[in-house]
Structure 1
Amino acid sequence: MTQSTSGQGGATAVAEGPAGPMVRVDNLHRSYGSGAAAVHALRGVSFEVPRGELVALKGRSGSGKTTLLNLLGGLDQPDEGSVTVDGTQVVGLGEEGLLELRRDRIGFIFQSFGLIPILSAAENVGVPMRLKKVAPRERDERVALLLSLVGLGDHAAQRPGELSGGQQQRVAIARALANRPALLIADEPTGQLDAETGLAVMELLRAVVRSEGVTALVATHDTQLLGFADRVLELNDGQITDHG
């Protein structure tokens, strides 16, 4: 076991090594508010996600899916419990360590696409690599490869407003893969798409997991999409009720 220390007074990040699961969650609790008005979003959630799997997180609206994904991505901190992603303990990690984790090892895909309207598809995909200061030639080659991977090689110069919803989500997937993350976190990635396009995007995510060797955790309430997953976790009222 190796250790690396996060910056600016953060907690020490303990690396467990590549042999362990990609995600390990233990006794996770998260509440909002206090007293009788408190909302218990997560109540003792525990599970593991093996490397190289596409795992679907199933649950109706309000079941705690987004809260759980935010904790996994270091966008929020729990009241109790631990989260380990790719060997790094996320809970208590300092801001510098969290920024590094999100930049280098986690790719995010959102329901709202989150693309920058004034940038072309290629420029949107290249943003994470610019932040990481990747050399321009390497960046351009990676952008071209990723746009080809998601079937948009001929749309590199188009801006988000010139693309369909499904095409925009494909650009978002390519962007999430830009820095070769170990983990993809997707929160209702098909929520704004029609059924046929949603199925195509989910099929693409499954293909990406295979071709890029990444692990993916995809939250959805659409039962039609669950068949694309290697495993399904069901979240009800802040608790995992089915480990699939």
Structure 2
Amino acid sequence: MSEQQQSGPPVATAAGVAAAPGPTATVDEVVRVDRVSRTFGRGERAVHAVRDVSFVAGRGELVAVRGRSGAGKTTLLNLVGGLDRPDSGQVRVAGHDLGAAGERELLRLRRGTVGFVFQTFGLIPILSAAENVGVPLRLAKVPAAEREERVAVLLELVGLGGHAAQRPYELSGGQQQRVALARALANEPDLLIADEPTGQLDSETGRSIMDLLRAVVHARGMTALVATHDPALIDLADRTLTLRDGHLVPAP
């Protein structure tokens, strides 16, 4: 689908070099990023990873974040996911001001409100598919019977109901990423963050994962931010944000 800039809610505001106004409110917004910047290092060696970025993302929306390597995609996702803090500006997720949150609140947010899917899958090798999916539920102290039922439902959701007992090395790359997605959904997050989730997969498998992400987001009314550089996968998103040298830039 096409990129959108200031065309009604939800809106992405292109910051560019000049300062830009904050993002326009959207109905049932889950993510609000308002004039956020993040710099690593100082002086001549400073890297301005994210510069004055503003956007909002609403419930049930799959937003692709694209840009060349070094454009700031991962840094932006880390800021929205509470894995890093901005130098300036504000990040709000499901009503939580991440800049004002303490470490305990951020930990609760990462365990319950935000789900993460990474390029490298991040599965625990000695655990079965079902056990990997159940890890977040164990951390949340969900009772065993409820945990097992939810794990079974999630594995069916991602098409792996018959692979519950298999360990990661017994699964293909696409199957491992499906397990990782099921794990990210375990605690029913409001926001799903996926950083190059198809980067280690062939094009056909990558598209199937993106199709699955889109279906889950729309069916469950979640919000997803997906960093990718694959044009075929970007076309599956509801909206696209383009980063260049840390800036959010307008559609061409």
Calculate the TM-score normalised by the size of structure 2: 0.88
Q: Are 2:129 and 2:164, in contact at CA under 8 Å, matched by a contact in 1?
A: yes
**Secondary structure, counterpart of 1:47 in structure 2:** strand
**Secondary structure, counterpart of 1:22 in structure 2:** strand
Q: How many residue pairs are counted as aligned between the two chains?
A: 227
Partner residue of 2:163 out of 143, 152, 155: 155
Measure the CA separation in 1 of the matches of 2:202 and 2:28.
37
Q: Are 2:130 and 2:152, in contact at CA under 8 Å, matched by a contact in 1?
A: yes
* 1:133 is aligned to 2:141: yes
Partner residue of 2:33 out of 21, 25, 39: 25
Partner residue of 2:245 out of 234, 237, 244: 237
* 1:181 is aligned to 2:189: yes
Tell me the CA shift for residue 51 of structure 1: 1.3
Partner residue of 2:45 out of 15, 20, 37: 37
Tell me the CA shift for residue 214 of structure 1: 1.0
| 1:48-127 correspondence runs (5 A) | 48-127=56-135
Tell me the CA shift for residue 227 of structure 1: 1.3
Q: Are 1:20 and 1:87, in contact at CA under 8 Å, matched by a contact in 2?
A: no
CA deviations over 1:68-99 (Å, ceiling 9, x no partner): 00011111111111000011111131011001
**Secondary structure, counterpart of 2:136 in structure 1:** helix
Aligned residue type for 2:224:
A
Measure the CA separation in 1 of the matches of 2:28 and 2:148.
33
Tell me the CA shift for residue 243 of structure 1: 6.1
**Secondary structure, counterpart of 1:116 in structure 2:** coil
Tell me the CA shift for residue 60 of structure 1: 0.9
| 1:184-199 correspondence runs (5 A) | 184-199=192-207
Measure the CA separation in 2 of the matches of 1:162 and 1:114.
15
CA deviations over 1:157-212 (Å, ceiling 9, x no partner): 00001000000000000000000000000000000000010000000000111222
Give the unaligned 5+ runs of structure 2.
Answer: 1-25
Q: Are 1:235 and 1:242, in contact at CA under 8 Å, matched by a contact in 2?
A: no
Calculate the TM-score normalised by the size of structure 1: 0.91
Give the unaligned 5+ runs of structure 1.
Answer: 1-17
Aligned residue type for 2:102:
G
Could you tell me the percent identity over the aligned residues?
A: 66
Aligned residue type for 2:175:
Q
Aligned residue type for 1:93:
A
Instruction: Return closer, same or farther for 1:122/1:243 CA change in 2, 3 Å cut-off.
Output: farther
RMSD of the alignment, in Å?
Answer: 1.3
Q: Are 2:30 and 2:57, in contact at CA under 8 Å, matched by a contact in 1?
A: yes
- In structure 2, the residue matched to 1:9 is none
**Secondary structure, counterpart of 2:48 in structure 1:** strand
Partner residue of 1:213 out of 217, 221, 225: 221
Measure the CA separation in 2 of the matches of 1:84 and 1:53.
16
Measure the CA separation in 2 of the matches of 1:26 and 1:207.
28
